Amino acid sequence: MSTDEEEIRQLVESWIQATREGDIDSVLSLMTDDAVFLASGQSPMGKEDFATMARAQSGSEAARIDGRSRIQEIKVLGDWAWMWTELTVTVMPSSAESIVRSGHTLSVLTREGGKWRLARDANMLSVVS
């Protein structure tokens, strides 16, 4: 496994851990300023909208979020890389049943200032019944 691949795998682990801890600033630091998130049935969302949504869902009554990512493939091409994962996200509201979403993602990453950052993410998760 190359150093680049190891660094990308660490980015994924850091993202999941920061999400578990509700550390929005750490999650934001793992993406480019022009990051775009694509999800079926939703408008594209940039970093600023992601931050606004995440902050609105934070606080003492916020749902806990956990995730598991199984990386299927990473391909590095210079300062760009793409990654295919199988992702499961569990949202645990304080006063409701947990919601589990699972599916595939395809992400584009770029190296900025010597660090890998997420630049684009196509998320094909659906609710698991």
How far apart are the C-alpha atoms of 50 and 24, rounded to whole Å? 10
DSSP H or E segment with residue 62: none
Mean pLDDT in residue range 80-87: 98
- Supply the range of the domain harboring residue 66: 3-127
As a whole number of angstroms, the distance between CA 74 and CA 127 comes to 25
CB neighbour class for 91 (10 Å; exposed up to 12, middle 13-18, buried from 19): middle
Domain count for the chain: 1
> What's the CATH code of the domain at 27?
3.10.450.50
Answer yes or no: are the C-beta atoms of 116 and 35 closer than 8 Å. no
pLDDT-derived band of residue 129, with 50, 70 and 90 as boundaries? confident
Amino acid code (one letter) for 64: R
**pLDDT class of 60 with cuts at 50, 70, 90:** low
pLDDT of residue 9: 98
pTM: 0.91
